[in-house]
Amino acid sequence: MGVEWRKRFGGRLVLVTGAGRGIGRATAHAFAAAGSRVICADRDGHAASLSADAARSLGTGGAWADEVDVSDAAGMERFAERVLATHGTVDVLVNNAGIGMSGRFLDTSVEDWRRTLDVNLWGVIHGCRLFGRQMAGRGAGGHIVTVASAAAFQPTRTVPVYATSKAAVLMLSECLRAELGELGIGVSTVCPGFVSTSFTSAMHFAGVPEEEQVRLRERFRHVAGGRVYPPEKVAKAVLRAVARDTPLSVVTAEARVARLVTRFSPRLSRALARVDP
């Protein structure tokens, strides 16, 4: 990280959810390299600890791990109180934790919807409500980033549950930006397309027998695997969004194309929604 990043983020307290792997891990490490104090939160405590260990070796600000499930409202309440008591008010919150869900709408169960929305939407709501309130109470500003997806603005029949969850957090972020700006709290959304992470290995496919899950995950991984966009580039986009107070950052080529098509050719966007990958 350059001197300008260390000047901007040195000493800042940054909380990253889903920091155990992928984009979350890369983001935690990027902030650490910029001199921030970093809290690596993940429902996988061991993965969070490994991320924190690596973050400490990258910077001088310090890094800590915490195990928390963002979908657990009571658990997030306790986590927010713990962070405040131990480290103080967070300067930057990165809502990154998320899960994948694929399958046609008529194949998805209520449990499929609940599981996905609990993490992808309610996890963001819990983080913004709890840590945003702490930022507002301190009266010194702050920044909230939500990692969404190109699926937030490109309709598709293959991932309706996931796309709905990401569209919801994009709108939530826009609403919060309008409300919290007067308090000096910036809000940004980062929307990547396919990124080289292990995200697809945990993808759940609705209405599919368990023995088929592995095969479909491999197929999905092959489709996404053609992309070599590293999570470290998404992490840099997160830091830029905070530094520039960017409302929406669209990263990866296919995400930018999807955004343009949705805005300027809705008919084409709807046609693409009918195409299976």
pLDDT tens-digit profile of 176-187? 999 999 999 999
Between 211 and 194, the more confident residue is 194
User: Can 229 be counted among the known catalytic residues?
Assistant: no
Specify the pLDDT at position 223.
Answer: 56
Q: Tell me which range, 13-17, 157-161, 193-197, 218-222, is most confidently predicted by mean pLDDT.
A: 13-17
CATH says 3-273 is which class?
Answer: alpha beta
pTM of the predicted model over 0.85: yes
Lowest-confidence range among 13-22, 132-141, 188-197, 229-238? 188-197
C-alpha distances in Å from residue 138, one per residue of 133, 134, 184, 194, 252: 9, 6, 11, 37, 36
Specify the pLDDT at position 178.
Answer: 97
Candidates 47, 45, 92; CA nearest to 235 is 92
Q: Please state, in angstroms and rounded to a whole number, the distance separating the CA atoms of residues 66 and 48.
A: 7
Specify the pLDDT at position 266.
Answer: 82
Using DSSP bridges, classify how beta strands 13-17 and 37-42 pair: parallel, antiparallel or unpaired: parallel
Q: Which of 9, 131, 162, 205 is catalytic?
A: 162
pLDDT at 270 over 50: yes
In degrees and rounded to multiples of 5, residue 44 shows phi and psi of -95, 100
pLDDT tens-digit profile of 96-147? 999 888 788 888 889 999 999 999 999 999 999 999 999 999 999 999 999 9
Which residue blocks in 181-230 are alpha helix, DSSP H? 210-225
Q: Please state, in angstroms and rounded to a whole number, the distance separating the CA atoms of residues 196 and 152.
A: 19
In degrees and rounded to multiples of 5, residue 36 shows phi and psi of -80, 155
Residue range 200-204: average pLDDT?
57
Per-residue confidence at 172, pLDDT binned at 50, 70, 90? very high
pLDDT tens-digit profile of 47-68? 999 999 999 999 878 999 999 9
Per-residue confidence at 257, pLDDT binned at 50, 70, 90? confident
Give me the chain's average pLDDT, please.
88
Q: Please state, in angstroms and rounded to a whole number, the distance separating the CA atoms of residues 10 and 60.
A: 9
pLDDT at 261 over 70: yes
Q: Domain ranges in the chain? A: 3-273
Per-residue confidence at 37, pLDDT binned at 50, 70, 90? very high
Segment holding 250, helix H or strand E: strand 248-251
pLDDT at 256 over 90: no
Which residue blocks in 181-209 are alpha helix, DSSP H? none
Specify the pLDDT at position 218.
Answer: 59
